[in-house]
């Protein structure tokens, strides 16, 4: 499940792209050293070519660097914004309720399926009725 993300696991700069950085020099056949800002001083500045994307214009997927608060242990917080869809997954012995969740740094297209039970325990505010839905039900 999403939540606290660590740079050293599953990709160094998740969310996918976070900024435009100047390439300082090539290191070996497939690595480049980048000029990173002071706010990313804890992140190693040499990246494999597969982690980089040539930027001719500002991509839509880019996260504003001000929004990214990387802690000293190289983690950052992710939290769900809303539940887009629910479904039930039936196994031999039980029924598991699943929710399709949109996370704070991603579009609806990148939503993930999470177990409702886990979401309810970590993010109970997602399941509280909003003022909008209460207004609709009373009319």
**Which pLDDT value is given to residue 99?**
93
14 alpha-carbon distance from chain centroid: 7
What residue ranges define each of the domains in the chain, with the CATH number in brackets?
Answer: 4-77 (no CATH), 80-128 (2.40.50)
Beta-bridge partner residues of 32: 26, 47
**Which pLDDT value is given to residue 8?**
45
Tell me: pLDDT of 135 over 70.
Answer: no
Assigned token pair, 80: 């769900």
**Which pLDDT value is given to residue 65?**
59
Count of CB atoms situated within 10 Å of the CB of 137: 8
pTM greater than the 0.75 cutoff: no
Query: What does the mean pLDDT of the chain come to?
Result: 75
């Amino acid at each position: 499940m999403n939540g606290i993300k660590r740079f050293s696991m599953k990709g160094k700069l998740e969310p996918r792209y976070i900024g435009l950085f100047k390439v300082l020099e090539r290191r070996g056949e497939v690595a480049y050293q980048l000029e990173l800002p002071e706010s990313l001083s804890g992140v190693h500045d040499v990246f494999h070519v597969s982690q980089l994307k040539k930027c001719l214009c500002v991509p839509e997927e880019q996260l504003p660097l001000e929004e990214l608060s990387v802690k000293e242990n190289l983690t950052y917080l992710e939290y769900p914004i809303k539940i887009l869809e629910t479904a039930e997954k039936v196994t031999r012995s039980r029924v598991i309720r699943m929710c399709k969740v949109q996370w704070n740094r991603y579009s609806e297209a990148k939503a993930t399926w999470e177990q409702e039970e886990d979401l309810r325990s970590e993010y109970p505010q997602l399941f509280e009725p909003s003022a909008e839905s209460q207004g609709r039900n009373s009319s």
